[in-house]
Amino acid sequence: MRHLLSAADLDLATTTAVLDLAEEMGQLQQRPVKKLPALRGRTVVNLFFEDSTRTRSSFELAGKWLSADVINVSAKGSSVSKGESLRDTVLTIDAMGVDALVIRHSASGAPLQASQWARAKVINAGDGTHEHPTQALLDAYTMRRHLRSLGGDGELAGRTVVIVGDLTHSRVVRSNVLLLQTLGATVVLVAPATLMPSGVASWPVTTSNDLDAVLPEADIVMMLRVQSERMSGGYFPTPREYTVGYGLTRNRLGLLRPEAAICHPGPMNRGLEISADAADSASSLILDQVAAGVAVRMSVLYHLLGGDDEREGDPR
Ligand code: CP
């Protein structure tokens, strides 16, 4: 892998290799001393132009636990706040000789652009409404472990993943649809018509506006955040009506099969798309997803930086 910009960059063999190595990396999380020498001498820069709790801190831990040098650069506190462009910021950090840029940006396509300017490897840590490939990897990792805990082989092929909520503004759904297709899962998308992505008819999914009808089919139900900050205008009449139609309420928990699990990439709007009863229930994998984020990002960093290859020549 030269970069990780999209879940489409991950074929089945690569996905399986990343998830399998993440299982080994996950064992490190249980140890009192969390350090491997695998990326000693490598430098990773977290370049976050948009807020994050989970992704930024887990990439930082992942790099540090693999002995890489990791620094964080955010728009606030950097020369971006003085008007420096994305290109100049990327070229500036890249000129220092770093090995990887982990980029989050509100503009879809920003990491792709950066990969065309930088010699460092680029990882998309979430770009606008486009993609969030490491989120899809950690979701798949969490689902596999859940299925194994039920006594199965952990394979997602033939399983049904129901993804519910603000799909229009979600980069998580786009990466999950791509990766779950690679892994052979059936994906059902549920949202009001106003929050169904344009072009969804060409996606490898089925769609529904009726959450109650779909929930009993789910092996996994993934609730997505209502992204009010990306909305201009009314996508639903009131928050209360959204919850009545599309929230995972206490009453709806009774529609799930006993072995079905609940995911949410976070951050959550408790009481809007997901009730506290659901988020904190025994079926919830939400904190498992957070823990998986470190193991999966260690694996991704190792796959990108673990070899002996030098930085690419000047791509400009
Ligand atoms: N899921 C996710 O990307 O969370 P953060 O915005 O906190 O990184």
What is the per-residue pLDDT across 197-255, written as a single tens digit (0 to 9) for each? 999 999 999 999 999 999 999 999 999 999 988 887 788 889 999 999 999 999 999 99
CA 217 to CA 221: how far, in whole Å? 9
Supply the pLDDT for residue 77: 84
Contacts by 269-273 with C-beta closer than 8 Å and gap 24+?
269/225, 269/226, 271/243, 272/226, 272/239, 272/242, 272/243, 272/247, 273/164, 273/165, 273/166, 273/223, 273/224, 273/225, 273/226, 273/242, 273/243, 273/246, 273/247, 273/248
Cβ–ligand 1 contact at 135 (below 6 Å): yes
What stretch of H or E contains 312? none
Q: Where are the alpha helices (DSSP H) in 130-283?
A: 133-149, 171-182, 211-214, 239-246, 250-253, 276-279
- Is pLDDT above 90 for 167? yes
Which residue's alpha carbon is nearest to atom 6 within ligand 1? 52
Cα(313) to centroid(ligand 1), Å: 32
**267: Cβ below 6 Å to ligand 1?**
yes
Of 47, 54, 105, best ligand 1 pocket probe by most atoms within 8 Å of the beta carbon:
54
pLDDT at residue number 1: 83
Least confident of 25-34, 209-218, 274-283, 290-299: 25-34
pLDDT beyond 80 at 75: yes
Query: What is the rounded distance in angstroms from the CA atom of residue 151 to the CA atom of residue 224?
Result: 28
For position 229, what pLDDT does the model report? 82
216 in contact with ligand 1, CB cutoff 6 A: no
| pLDDT, greater one: 312 or 35 | 35
- Is 316 a residue whose pLDDT tops 60? no
CA 303 to chain centre: 17
Query: 57 CB under 6 A from ligand 1?
Result: no
pLDDT at 290: 98
Average pLDDT over all residues of the chain:
95
Q: How many residues make up the chain in this entry?
A: 316
Mean pLDDT score, 257-261: 98
What's the whole-model pTM score? Answer: 0.96
Average pLDDT of 34-45? 97
- Say if residue 81's pLDDT is above 90: no
Ligand 1 pocket member 124 (CB < 6 A): no
CA of 314 to the centre of ligand 1 (A): 32
237 touches ligand 1 (CB under 6 Å): no
